[in-house]
Amino acid sequence: MSYEFTESFEIAQQWATYDPKIAELFDLYCPAHLFTQAARSDGNLSLTIYDDKYFGMGFGLQPYWNPQWDECSVTRRSKTPVPDGYSVDGNWDVYAVDTSPYAHYEFVQTTDDGAEIDSFIDTYAPNSSVRSGDPESLFWGCVRSSEGQLLSLGTVAKWRSGHHMFASIVTSEEARGKGIGAQLMQGMLSRLHSLGVKRVGLGVFAANAPAKRLYEKVGFELLQELRAYDKAR
């Protein structure tokens, strides 16, 4: 397999337009100031950014594997041989949704009680990626019972790429399966629309079937199914 390479962000961005979903992922994960290289062949695209270490993404059946990558995520259908020294770090899926269909939904409540946020996350989803006080967090949305008990919460982070991603969406065990998570996300999407945010993404572990059912019910579109790898150090 032969590949074409570029160190031009603008050329790489143009290459990504062969697939609208890949173009969106490029915009999400590849800010111009961190971009270092792209490689393409027919139906394949690989991207490399540097932010204290090299991170890569590979799309298609035979994407180029940059040996500089310290961490990477590659489409799970990829047939590119995994080089020695890399180990699987898990499977994850990327989704996105437009906010406009939720413009007329009732705004979700918000909270800035850091102790309450962190305690709730630690109790029900300790592996969540974002906690209170994160500088990228726009706001924390929440749903409470009529007695004020916290039932569900989550945040939206604005990444350095300028794009917005849901994070740390958590629902208490007793509130699951009752539409509370959907209520939370719909209310957050309504608030985001009022702030001028047009589209929001999220990443989720592939094995988290209940969460994926929730996101698809709300209206999220699957962009890519990925497998993450780490290089041995």
pLDDT digits (tens, 9 = 90+) for 146-192: 999 999 999 999 987 788 999 999 999 999 999 999 999 999 999 99
pLDDT digits (tens, 9 = 90+) for 95-137: 999 999 999 999 999 999 999 999 999 999 998 889 999 999 9
Domain boundaries, the chain: 4-94, 100-197
pTM above 0.95, yes or no: no
The residues, ordered by sequence, that sit 6+ positions from 172 with a Cβ below 8 Å of its Cβ are 120, 123, 124, 150, 151, 152
CATH of domain 100-197: 3.40.630.30
